[in-house]
């Protein structure tokens, strides 16, 4: 019964984190700003940290099944 919400949450977190990491990588490789109005290194560090955290949280949700 509780596996449905865990699968949904794990999929949502993992997809969002993966998309955030992919978007950050593409923007950085094209030398485009990751976030407007923020220092490039700060934006890269923050988005990479949060993207990785969301992927880890998604895998943690899948591990709870």
- pLDDT value, residue 13: 97
Lookup result for tokens 């998309």? 19
pTM above 0.85, yes or no: yes
> pLDDT tens digits, residue range 12-25?
999 999 999 999 99
Contact 52, 60 (CB under 8 A): no
> pLDDT tens digits, residue range 15-57?
999 999 999 999 999 999 999 999 999 999 999 999 999 999 9
Structure tokens at 8: 């949904």
The CA distance from 30 to 52, in Å, is 21
Of the CA atoms within 13 Å of residue 64, those in its CB half-sphere come to: 17
The CA distance from 44 to 14, in Å, is 19
Lookup result for tokens 């976030």? 35
């Amino acid at each position: 019964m509780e596996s449905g919400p865990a699968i949904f949450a794990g999929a949502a977190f993992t997809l969002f984190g993966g998309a955030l990491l992919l978007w950050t990588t593409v923007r950085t490789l094209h030398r485009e700003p990751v976030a407007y109005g923020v220092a490039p290194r700060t934006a890269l560090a923050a988005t990479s940290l949060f993207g990785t955290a969301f992927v880890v949280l998604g895998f943690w949700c899948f591990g709870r099944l």
